[in-house]
Amino acid sequence: MLLALKGNRKSIGFKYAWNGVLSVVKTERNFRIHLLAAFIVICAGIIMQLSQVEWLFIVIAIGSVLTAECLNSAVEKMLDYLKPEIHPKAKVVKDLSAGAVLLTVLMSVVVGLIVFIPKIAGM
């Protein structure tokens, strides 16, 4: 009985997490843009036959951007709930969160350039 309850809690936790992913996909335009970019990069990686190590860097870069965008969305929604009116301190927090996404995207672009430029140059 105890094992059944533990397993049930895990599936409930997964359900909530999956609901969060579906929510960000449905409500956040930037997340959908990042998903489209990830799809394009994955297709390019398949066409250019990336090595296992190259895929590792690409997958980490894509996962980092999507994770940062999810966290940014969570911060923005939380602040909108706590401080619906515009507040200078809430704006700073939102800007910092958006800045984290920007930095993650820029680092991912650098990773993409390092991986793909030699492939493109060798064609």
| Mean pLDDT of the region 38-46 | 98
Q: pLDDT at position 6, please?
A: 55
Q: Indicate whether 123 pLDDT > 80.
A: no
| Mean pLDDT of the region 26-45 | 97
Q: Indicate whether 44 pLDDT > 80.
A: yes
Q: Which amino acid does the sequence have at 11? A: S
Q: Indicate whether 11 pLDDT > 90.
A: no
| Mean pLDDT of the region 49-75 | 97
Burial letters 40-56, b for 16+ CB under 10 A, else e: ebeebbeeeebeeebee
Instruction: Supply the mean pLDDT for the chain.
Output: 92
